[in-house]
Chain A
């Protein structure tokens, strides 16, 4: 049996291109790209013309009422069951667009547009639809004109697409995806063709990729198009290739994510990317093309990433042990400290190019390392019922001044510098109470205050030793908690230089609380 697709099949080029950046309305740029010739079965059909709608449903209804002679907005509103003000607004819009005249009747332009927008009157045109040769699904695209592109075959088997202007052509190496031995799928039906034209229109409106469903898809039937008018001109499909390309975005992410373009010029196509990935499993040639684009093999990239992760963890462990001695391995919060240091090393290696989300994750790790430290502290020195200090019968718990007084008195008794940082002094008593329960559902500042209250009566409490060494430790802890707040959305943008001291503060705090290591000079107090 002869192969359905041959290398000599015609190639259609509809100008695949990257989508626009919604924030700048500029088209995104690629840093690397590789063209592919994707197979499709093309049918010539007679179908409704694809064009973007210029009237929404209400505009069309109001225009229709006016066309029927009902030009009074009150009556239009009643007939359409919309408020008269809304009817008046739409009426004005139509007048401003020159679709309604001063007498309320449609202008010639308005009459033409109304007829064009009415599905029954949509022009039937000759065009082409494309069928996926593997699944037989019709692509949601309908094109009237075919743009063929010149192809030059090279001795090595890779064809060159001849793009650019006629006067200055540009040759682009392309990879033709040949589907192998496939049977011809059943020809598409009229309903499929109408749905393809509608989804194409929807995609044009949204400049979206072709998998986006149209609201019209909710109708299984052909809508108001007379399906008998939709027909195939050819009874057999023409095997063709359409051009597209895989690309790496110019402002790519660190993972080297690649994308594929919609062959019909409507931006990015996740569907085509998935299809390319599927074909790569059986086509080493296609895989090599992608690897060539990324610059190294995907397997190598995976190994590189694993090697990179291993090296960073080794450096992180080394840093933790340098700051807190090798005894840090025995600390219950050891893995949290390594995680913090991992993020720290990675951020330093990336330098100024370290993305914002990684910096936010880093300060989050810093706060988690302290939370784990206090969790470990509570294991050995449970705060028990210390929250009762601020829950007395004599004073209401909402009394901030009272609570602040209790906190500061305890801090001073333990040996810390007062007044406390404002955020610590204003910790709500219920947060202190939550920290006293072992379910772990507490916040860092609540845990700090709970520990301070507990240390007041516990002469062996590590906070007492820490306070003796560093009376401003509570300010340092509050600083880490404050920096950790940057993980929340909307917080101000971080810089590498602003987050590095937080890591040193965590090391110093952990060292003071655990009795390990030497205070680091780089700490901020």
Chain B
């Protein structure tokens, strides 16, 4: 069966009228369902055995507890003779691949990069994708085919929603020899060589590639030698026989295209890429997992500022905007430290030795651009991960030397003066505090005073080349 019926029925007897075809792949097609909120994926496979296996797998996936993950999972299975399922319709979303390659007719790649949300949005989208994958891995499952075609992201540059599609890709780890589905360019070398089945590390390789590619607009394994070489060279590159494009010593596969990596990859992300495509290319065990990618991507996104001139975003460690060379403006940082009241008065701010000195433990650092509203999320405030970590808790806005704080989750948060002698509260009404360079600020407490919690110290930093 290769053509879709006009109407399908789910196992509960609910009928769905199918409208236009939204996409079609090797296995099946996705149709919009009348009503505008659902889509139906219909799988075309004439083999009775494979159909039965797929049906069982889909039924199994539907039973999985994936509600907290950003995966467009099956809502209802379709009734025979149709093989497929009903899922949520991803309105206002597009494949991640739309952000990974400059359109051919685009005259200014930098302007195109910025128009797609720039560096910060790409980091946030990738971080949320990594969260979803890590959540799946945490349940003992693998997605098996992460690729820019299977990850959908918000069309609006102002939003950062992520959904993995094709829930039928979700599997338990498989063993070598079982045919594995992967997208060319994103399959781990051991998968390409059929030496392994899908597992969390093959997912990690695919994710590493798409993260690197989305940020730098260059495939980590496809350098000039591959682009200019015979087709066999690409096979060599993808199964790990060539060095990656930024190999520290081996320059045989350098890429002359793409954005300079230091502009778009933070120090930690550069390190992850080096591990993923260096030692991790041939030894899966040395590959960083997606949760590590998630943590570093979130951290990198937090450490970005907006350029008032070109509206691009860049790391606050840069002294000039890499997109337009505008000097970095004055900005503030919000350092998320740990506060443990059980240590006793004076020592609540947890510290760790760094060289011969002791420094406060920093869980995260958030950059605040003048005039821009930034959210402290559950991830920053309480260290929550996954989709729940994206929920905003407090909104911050820096205006010159004044910082406005407002609770957006209905909670009340304590502010304490640097000496601890005075207190105030952040509620749903805007509270303003003043920041001065080099002077300790009011501390924002994000938890109960008698338990270990995160506390935020703000610091105003001068702009320009300093």
Binding site for B on A (CB under 8 A): 44, 125-126, 144-145, 147, 152, 154-158, 164-169
Closest CB-CB distance, A210 to chain B, in whole Å? 20
Asked if B88 contacts A166 (CB within 8 A), the reply is yes
Q: Could you tell me if A147 and B35 are in contact, using CB atoms closer than 8 angstroms?
A: yes
Inter-subunit contact B409/A156 (CB<8 Å): yes
- Asked whether B316 is an interface residue with its Cβ less than 8 Å from the other chain, the reply is no
Chosen A-B contacts, 24 in total, with CB atoms closer than 8 Å, are: A126-B14, A144-B14, A145-B14, A145-B35, A145-B38, A147-B37, A155-B410, A155-B411, A156-B409, A165-B92, A166-B91, A166-B93, A166-B161, A166-B163, A167-B91, A167-B92, A167-B94, A167-B152, A167-B153, A167-B159, A167-B161, A168-B155, A168-B158, A168-B159
What B residues does A145 contact at CB under 8 A? 14, 16, 35, 38
Q: Choose among B37, B152, B411 the residue that contacts A156 (Cβ–Cβ < 8 A).
A: B411
Does B23 reach chain A (CB closer than 8 Å)?
no
A167 touching B154 in the complex, CB below 8 Å, given contacts A125-B15, A144-B15, A147-B37: yes
Partner of A166, one of B89, B158, B410, B411: B89
The answer to whether the Cβ of B311 comes within 8 Å of any Cβ in the partner chain is: no
Does B90 make an interface contact (CB < 8 A)?
yes
Further contacts, 20 of them, CB under 8 A, given A166-B92, A167-B91, A168-B156 = A126-B13, A126-B14, A144-B14, A147-B35, A147-B37, A152-B391, A156-B411, A157-B410, A158-B410, A164-B92, A166-B88, A166-B89, A166-B91, A167-B93, A167-B154, A168-B155, A168-B158, A168-B161, A169-B159, A169-B161
A-B Cβ contacts below 8 A, count:
58
Taking CB atoms and an 8 Å cut-off, the chain B residues in 139-168 that contact chain A are: 152-156, 158-159, 161, 163
Q: How far is the CA of A126 from the CA of B155 in the complex (A)?
A: 36
Check B410 against A165 for contact (C-beta < 8 Å). Answer: no
Which residues of the partner chain A approach B89 to less than 8 Å between Cβ atoms?
166
A contact residues around B152 at 8 Å (CB): 167
CA distance in complex: A126, B11 (Å):
11
Say yes or no for B256: interface residue by CB 8 A criterion: no
Question: A44 to B13, alpha carbons, bound, how many Å?
Answer: 11
Question: Which residues of B lie under 8 Å from residue A144 when comparing CB positions?
Answer: 14-15
* Minimum CB distance partner of A126 in chain B: B13
With contacts A126-B13, A144-B15, A152-B391 taken as known, whether A168 is within 8 angstroms of B410 at the C-beta atoms is no
Query: Among the interface residues A164, A167, A168, A169, which one has the most CB atoms of the partner chain B within 10 A?
Result: A167
By beta carbon, the residue of chain A nearest B161 is A167
Chain A proximity of B442: nearest CB distance (Å): 22
Q: Which of A125, A154, A165, A168 makes the CB contact (< 8 A) with B409?
A: A154
Question: What residues on A are CB-neighbors of B37 within 8 Å?
Answer: 147
Asked whether B12 is an interface residue with its Cβ less than 8 Å from the other chain, the reply is: yes
Within 8 Å CB of A157, what residues of B?
410
Closest to A152 in B: B391
> A134: shortest Cβ distance to chain B, in Å?
28
Nearest CB in chain B: distance from A368 CB, A: 50
* Residues on the B chain within 8 Å of A165, using CB: 91-93
* 8 cross-chain pairs, A with B, having the tightest CB-CB distances, nearest first: A156-B410, A167-B92, A165-B92, A167-B154, A126-B13, A165-B91, A167-B93, A168-B159
Across the interface, do B154 and A126 meet the contact criterion of CB distance under 8 Å? no
Count of B residues near A, CB < 8 Å?
Answer: 28
With both beta carbons as reference points, the residue of chain A lying nearest to B392 in the complex is identified as A171
Q: Which residues of chain B are near A147, meaning CB under 8 Å?
A: 35, 37
B12 and A166 form a contact (CB under 8 A): no
Contact with A along B80-101 (1 / 0, CB 8 A): 0000000011111110000000
B156 surroundings in chain A (CB, below 8 A): 167-168
Considering the chains assembled together, what is the distance between the CA atoms of A169 and B390 in angstroms? 13
Task: Tell me the residues in window 31-82 of chain B with beta carbons closer than 8 Å to chain A beta carbons.
Answer: 35, 37-38
Chain B residue nearest to A144 (CB atoms) is: B14
Determine how close the nearest CB of chain B comes to the CB of A64; give it in whole angstroms: 27
Q: Scan residues 319-372 of chain B and give those whose CB is less than 8 A from a CB of chain A.
A: none
Residues of B contacting A44 with CB < 8 Å? 12
* In the bound complex, CA of A221 to CA of B37 (Å): 36
- Chain A residues whose C-beta falls within 8 Å of the C-beta of B88 in the assembled complex: 166
For B15, list chain A residues within 8 Å (CB): 125, 144
Nearest opposing residue in chain A for B410, CB measure: A156
Chain A residue numbers with a CB within 8 Å of B154 are 167-168
Give the CA-CA distance A158 to B410 in the complex, in Å: 8
Measured CA separation A164–B156 after assembly (Å): 12
Q: What's the minimum C-beta distance from B24 to chain A, rounded to whole angstroms?
A: 20
Q: A156, A164, A167: which contacts B155 (Cβ < 8 A)?
A: A167
Q: Give Cα A147–Cα B159 distance, bound, in whole angstroms.
A: 23
Residues of A within 8 A of B410 (CB): 154-158
Residues of B close to A166: CB separation below 8 A: 88-93, 161, 163
Closest to B67 in A: A150
**Shortest CB distance B90–A (Å):** 5
A224-B410 Cα distance, complex, nearest whole Å: 55
Q: Which chain A residues lie closer than 8 Å to B16 at the CB level?
A: 145
Give bound CA distance, A167 to B15, whole Å: 26
Residue among B88, B90, B409 having the largest count of chain A Cβ atoms under 10 Å: B409
Give the distance in Å from the alpha carbon of A57 to the alpha carbon of B373 in the complex. 61
How far does the alpha carbon of A166 sit from the alpha carbon of B391 in the complex, in Å? 15
Closest Cβ of chain A: how far from B19's Cβ, in Å? 14
- A158 to chain B: which residues have CB within 8 Å? 410
Q: How far is the CB of B447 from chain A (nearest CB, A)?
A: 12
How far does the Cβ of A463 sit from chain B's closest Cβ, in whole Å?
Answer: 67
Task: Mark each residue of chain B from 245 to 284: 1 if its CB lies under 8 Å from any CB of chain A, else 0.
Answer: 0000000000000000000000000000000000000000
Residues of A contacting B38 in the complex (Cβ-Cβ under 8 angstroms): 145
Chain B neighbourhood of A152, CB < 8 A: 391
Tell me the smallest distance from the CB of A436 to a CB of chain B, in Å: 70
The residue of chain A having its C-beta at the shortest distance from the C-beta of B86 within the complex is A145
- In the docked arrangement, what's the CA distance between A245 and B92, Å? 24
Complex formed: what's the CA distance from A165 to B37 in Å? Answer: 9
Per a CB cutoff under 8 Å, which of A126, A156, A167, A169 touches B12? A126
In the complex, what's the smallest C-beta–C-beta distance from A34 to chain B, in angstroms? 15
Query: Of B93, B94, B153, B409, which contacts A155 at CB under 8 A?
Result: B409
Alpha-carbon distance between A128 and B112 when the two chains are bound, in angstroms: 48
Closest partner residue, chain B, to A128 (CB atom):
B14
**How far apart are the CA atoms of A168 and B14 in the complex, in Å?**
28
CA distance A414 to B163 in the complex (A): 92
Instruction: Give the residues in chain A near B35, CB-CB below 8 Å.
Output: 145, 147
Chain A contacts for B155, CB-based, 8 A: 167-168
Residue of A nearest to B411 (CB): A155
In the bound complex, what is the Cα–Cα distance between A155 and B154 (angstroms)? 27
**Considering only CB atoms, which chain A residue lies closest to B158 in the complex?**
A168
Q: Which residue of chain B has its CB nearest to the CB of A157?
A: B410
Select the residue from B15, B35, B155 with max chain A CB neighbours within 10 A: B15
Name the distance in Å between B461's Cβ and chain A's nearest Cβ. Answer: 32
Bound Cα distance from A90 to B89, whole angstroms = 43
Beta-carbon nearest neighbor of A148 in chain B: B75
Closest to A164 in B: B92
**What is the minimal beta-carbon distance from B155 to any residue of chain A, in angstroms?**
5
Most A CB contacts (10 A, CB to CB) among B38, B159, B391 go to B159
**In the complex, how many angstroms separate the beta carbon of A142 from the nearest chain B beta carbon?**
13
Nearest B-chain residue to A173, judged by Cβ:
B410
Chain B nearest CB, measured from A229 CB (Å): 14
| A167 touching B409 in the complex, CB below 8 Å, given contacts A125-B15, A144-B15 | no
In the assembled complex, the CB of A334 is this many whole angstroms from the nearest CB of chain B, namely 50
A62 vs B154: C-alpha distance when bound (angstroms): 54
Among residues of A, the one whose C-beta sits closest to the C-beta of B387 is A152
How far, in Å, is A459 (CB) from chain B's closest CB? 76
| Residues on the A chain within 8 Å of B163, using CB | 166
Which residues from chain B contact A168 at a C-beta distance below 8 Å?
A: 92, 154-156, 158-159, 161
Closest A residue by C-beta to B35: A145
User: What's the Cα separation between A144 and B76 when bound, in Å?
Assistant: 14
Contacts of B12 in A (CB 8 A): 44, 126
